[in-house]
Structure 1
Amino acid sequence: MDVPFDLNSYVRVLKLASTPSWEEFSRVALIAGAGVALVGLLGFVIFLLMSFVPGAGL
Structure 2
Amino acid sequence: MDVPLELSSYTRVLKLASTPDREEFSQVALIAGAGILLVGLMGFTIFVVMNALPP
Q: TM-score, normalised by structure 1?
A: 0.90
**Structure 1: 4+ residue segments shifted above 4 A:** none
Q: State how far apart, in whole Å, the 2-side matches of 1:47 and 1:2 are.
A: 50
Q: Which runs of 5+ in 1 are unaligned?
A: none
| Match in the other structure for 2:39 | 39
The answer to whether 1:3 aligns with 2:3 is yes
Alignment correspondent of 1:29: 29
Aligned CA RMSD, in angstroms, stands at: 0.7
**3-state SS of the aligned residue for 1:9?**
helix
TM-score (structure 2 length as normaliser): 0.94
Runs (5+) with no aligned partner, structure 2: none
Higher relative contact order, structure no. (Cα contacts within 8 Å, ≥ 6 residues apart): 1
C-alpha offsets along residues 22-54 of structure 1, whole Å, 9 cap, x if unaligned?
Answer: 100000000000000000000111111011111
Of Structure 1 and Structure 2, the greater helix share is in 2
Percentage of matched positions with identical amino acids:
69
